[in-house]
Structure 1
Amino acid sequence: MRVAPPLVPSLVVGRVSHTRRVPLRHTFDHRHVQWLVDIDDLPRFPWPTRLLASFTAADHLDRGRTGAGIRGDLARFLARRGIALEPADRVLMLAHARSLGHVFDPLTVFWCLTVEDELRAVVLEVHNTYGERHAYLVEVDDTGRASVDKAFYVSPFNDVTGRYAIRLRLEPEVVSVTVGLDRSGRRVLTATTSGTPVPATWRSVVQVTVRHLFMTHRVSALIRIHGMRLWLRRLPVLTRPWHDEETVR
């Protein structure tokens, strides 16, 4: 599959929405902004702008444990699953930046592209609010769709059964990720992030940060607020199973 990615680094400015269908209905939609960056050419801004946006291997995959950075962690993850990340390959990452000392990434997407912009691999990295992370290698078809069994405890109101139906778009006009959880032939929930890429200049970073103040802090807070609302509606809390860190290595 060949893609036509936007210019990077970009700010992907748009919305995040979430609809839970069973056993009760709960929907939200919020303003949202993420970054789309080349992991080999991460944006570096002068102080104090760098306080608003920075990227580090510690926030992704194997936390930069071997000192090889995000690319090294990703290359090792893919190699253990039979895929070689070539030196000339480009890796685009959709993620939140660390801002004012905080970052929380419910979902990070890595697109691994050849020099002809053919898709070599796609990795989805999921974080939960318990400090755990899990990476999924997904096989994307020519329409940008993929599916994978759920294997990671994200919400305290869902166990690890079911299968994710995924739809990805990486285009100059739109970058979006839709993830639906299906269980026993029934759609349980759907989550979508979608936005328009805006070139990340010093000026646009400041403007977008002011408009979306404390974005990554807001994401952390909103997840807990919506969780509290579900708990108050007496949605059962499910036991969190042990998680193996090898899933990101």
Structure 2
Amino acid sequence: MADLWDGALIDAAIWHARAGDVTRQFRYRSLYAALPVDSLEAGRLPLRPDRPGLWRLRRLDHGARDGSPLTDFIQSQLAPVDLAHCRTALVTMPRGLLHGFNPVSFWLARDDLGLRAVLAEVTNTFGESHLYLCRHANNRVIEPGDRLSGEKLFHVSPFLPREGRYAFRFDAAPGRFGAWVDWFGKDGKLRLQTSMTGKARALTAKALRRAALRHAFQPLRVTGLIHWQAAKLFLRGIRYRTKPSQLERRRSEATTERSDV
């Protein structure tokens, strides 16, 4: 059974379900990599930062996005909330041969007792990003049934407003990974549900080569699917919203869910 903190490939099923102005579901599959950050930076994994290949991981695509070590970035996020002792792993979609786009990456932080925090790094098709730090206020273990809520502060889709709240849920048990993100409008009603779930298998050099050959154009495919779904919404008369200027606040927290969400 593959452990995410040893390095793994995740055969993920992605699901989106919209309600309210229109009812619509959207499904596709993607292959993600779970990369223990210390091992990644030390060059102990088959996938190494900033190396050429059909599948690549660039430091410029993650964290501080300035090419600096990813270990420095995640420690800078965890230390202020007393979680610097945690082991960390990055769950992400690597760059392909011609294109790199990752709607969301998850930085996982755990200790011997379990998962303590998840930093959701959300990216839109305009090249902008926002960090949502998901944790309990007292840093207790995040159980699979726990829901962590935070204000939506980042423009993702031109067919959704920026306001509202997210409710996050995570499962990072051995052999699998799951992330669920629900969006509630400013009226408090559930408007969008999303999930990414899949089984994990060991990240070996052989498995990585096979994945790179089979999924060399995966980011390009995902970008195309997103734009295709956007076209369908536009043709159904859903209001197109011009992208607002990104807020100066680039990091926010999601914590134990409020009773009124």
Which TM-score band (shorter chain)?
A: 0.7 to 0.9
1:109 match: 106
The corresponding residue for 2:133 is: 137
- Runs of 4+ in structure 1 displaced over 6 angstroms? none
Report the Cα distance in structure 2 between the residues aligned to 1:245 and 1:210, rounded to whole angstroms: 39
1:202 aligns with 2:205: yes
Alignment correspondent of 2:35: 37
Distance 1:169 1:110 in 2: 13
2:6 is equivalent to residue 8 of structure 1: yes
Aligned to 1:126: 122
Deviation at 1:169, TM superposition (A): 0.7
Query: 1:201-246: CA deviations, max 9, x gaps?
Result: 1222233344445212211111111111111212111122211465
**C-alpha spacing 1:204/1:144, structure 2 compared with 1 (3 Å):** farther
8 A Cα contact 1:77 1:248, kept in partner: no
SS of residue paired to 2:226: helix
Whichever residue aligns with residue 10 of structure 1, its letter is A
1:162-173 equivalences under 5 Å are 162-173=164-175
Matches within 5 A, 1:184-203: 184-203=187-206
Give the structure 2 partner of residue 63 of structure 1: 65
Residue 6 of structure 1, CA deviation: 3.5
Map of 2:255 onto structure 1: none
Instruction: Give % identity.
Output: 28
- TM-score, normalised via structure 2 length: 0.82
AA partner of residue 160 (structure 1): R
> Displacement, 1:35?
0.7
Aligned mates of 1:203, 1:155 — CA distance in 2: 37
Q: 2: distance between equivalents of 1:177 and 1:35?
A: 14
In structure 2, runs of 5+ residues without a counterpart are 137-141, 253-261
- Structure 1 segment 55-94 matched on structure 2, within 5 A: 55-64=57-66, 67=68, 69-79=69-79, 82-86=80-84, 88-94=85-91
Q: Distance in 1 between matches of 2:176 and 2:115?
A: 17
Given that residues 4 and 174 in structure 2 are in contact (C-alpha distance below 8 angstroms), is that contact kept between their aligned partners in structure 1? yes
Structure 2: how far apart are the matches of 1:180 and 1:131?
Answer: 23
Q: Give distance in 1, aligned partners of 2:117 and 2:123.
A: 20
TM alignment of 1:233-244, pairs within 5 A: 233-244=236-247
CA spacing shift, 1:104–1:117, aligned 2, 3 Å: farther
User: Which residue number corresponds to residue 22 of structure 1?
Assistant: 20
1:220 is aligned to 223
Q: Is the 8 A contact 1:144 1:169 kept in 2?
A: no
User: Does the CA contact (< 8 Å) of 1:64 and 1:70 recur in 2?
Assistant: no
CA RMSD of aligned residues (A): 2.4
Q: Distance in 1 between matches of 2:248 and 2:70?
A: 16
SS of the counterpart of 1:51? coil
